Copies of this chain bind each other. A is one copy, B any other.
């Protein structure tokens, strides 16, 4: 493919801006042709600084532009399935942020549309491309731990989001743990068949009043017989805690936290090191670039994207089962 891949980005909130910046800086064979946002006026200066001049209020201009090969859907969750379907119908490849939708039927309809259109769909589980987790997944696949017995994911945020956000988030299991469900499946090389959620409101009563929990331990059974556990907190005093562990017949793989530096300071008090990188923007800088590169590769080489629509569906299904488990205080099968 000698000509540049042409991209349209819908939604220029934090994640839309992140992808746009990454593409401009890192992929010389890709051009962001147009951007759409309901607040287009606010995005124009930023876009111009990156050399992007087509900035629309109406996302349909992207859908209707025959030059655009692929669309990045970075708008609010409730628009993901609709925009994906429209883009697929317009013959465009789609990168869609997670989750595809919070309604299983709509997800299925979306996947059907994608399949029918024969376009690529990649879902934004960027953590699969993190240097640490990817290495572990590869070593698991290479048999370094033998048969997988136990998968553990620790995922704790430095600060809870605003309660207003939490109210429309679908709840911790579909908003936050969904990444960890995908990670657990990715690392185990299998699918979740049963889930039990143990959770509570420990950080902020307002989160409970919003109908959500802020601290959780979720146990998993996988189709291949392995078992797993995820622990989540919306607030870790020391920052973003992102660790995983895969234990099997031949050994154990652990990913420790990344830190800004490798400096060790010894004084009268203690021997101390950096806290983990602050939050996902710092922690997953590389993985966001990597996922985008692999999306482009799958288009250019006509191969399967590394995270499929089915992966997106599965994580939502597990999230819903976890929510049900928590509400009904019992393990739930998928």
A residues apposed to B, CB below 8 Å = 25-26, 28, 49-50, 131-132, 135-136, 139, 144-147, 149-150, 152, 156, 196, 198-200, 202-203, 215-217, 219-221, 225-229, 231, 233, 235-238, 241, 247, 249-276, 329-331
Q: Are A131 and B219 in contact (CB under 8 A)?
A: no
Chain B residue contacts of A254, Cβ below 8 A: 263-266
Instruction: Choose among A26, A237, A274 the residue with the greatest number of B CB atoms under 10 Å from its CB.
Output: A237
Chain B residue contacts of A139, Cβ below 8 A: 263, 265
Q: Which 3 A-B pairs have the closest CB atoms?
A: A251-B267, A238-B266, A270-B272
Chain B residue contacts of A219, Cβ below 8 A: 196, 198, 217, 219, 229
Q: List 28 A-B contacts (CB under 8 A).
A: A144-B265, A144-B267, A149-B202, A149-B215, A198-B219, A198-B221, A198-B227, A200-B225, A217-B229, A229-B229, A235-B249, A237-B249, A238-B266, A250-B267, A251-B266, A251-B267, A253-B264, A254-B263, A254-B264, A254-B265, A255-B261, A256-B263, A265-B270, A266-B276, A269-B275, A270-B270, A271-B273, A272-B272
Not counting A229-B231, A270-B272, A270-B273, a sample of 14 additional A-B residue pairs whose C-beta atoms are within 8 angstroms of each other reads A28-B49, A28-B50, A132-B263, A144-B265, A145-B267, A200-B227, A237-B250, A237-B268, A241-B252, A241-B266, A252-B265, A256-B262, A258-B262, A270-B275
Say how many copies of this protein the assembly contains: 4
Contact of A25 among B25, B49, B255 (CB under 8 A): B25
Contact of A152 among B225, B231, B264 (CB under 8 A): B231
Chain B residue contacts of A257, Cβ below 8 A: 262
Chain B residue contacts of A238, Cβ below 8 A: 251-252, 266-268, 271
Instruction: Choose among A26, A247, A271, A276 the residue with the greatest number of B CB atoms under 10 Å from its CB.
Output: A271
Chain B residue nearest to A152 in the complex (CB): B231
Q: Are B253 and A263 in contact (CB under 8 A)?
A: yes
Q: Are A247 and B255 in contact (CB under 8 A)?
A: no
Bound Cα distance A259, B262 (Å): 10
Bound Cα distance A329, B199 (Å): 18
Q: Are A251 and B265 in contact (CB under 8 A)?
A: yes
Contact of A227 among B132, B199, B270, B274 (CB under 8 A): B199
